[in-house]
Amino acid sequence: MLEGLTPPVKIGPCRIRTILESLEAKDQEMLKTALANPDWYHSALARELTKRGLTVSDQALRIHRIGRCTCARKS
Q: What is the pLDDT of residues 18-40, one digit of tens each?
A: 999 999 999 999 999 999 999 99
How far apart CA 53 and CA 56 sit, in angstroms, is 9
Q: Specify if 10 maps to a domain.
A: no
pLDDT at 75: 46
Query: What pLDDT was estimated at residue 23?
Result: 96
What is the distance between the alpha carbons of residues 25 and 42, in angstroms, rounded to a whole number?
22
Residue 66's SS3 state is coil
pLDDT, tens digit, 9 for 90 and up, residues 51-60? 999 999 999 9
Q: Is residue 19 part of a domain?
A: yes
Mean pLDDT, the chain, as a whole number? 91
Considering its fold, how many domains does the chain have in total?
A: 1
Q: 40: domain range?
A: 15-73
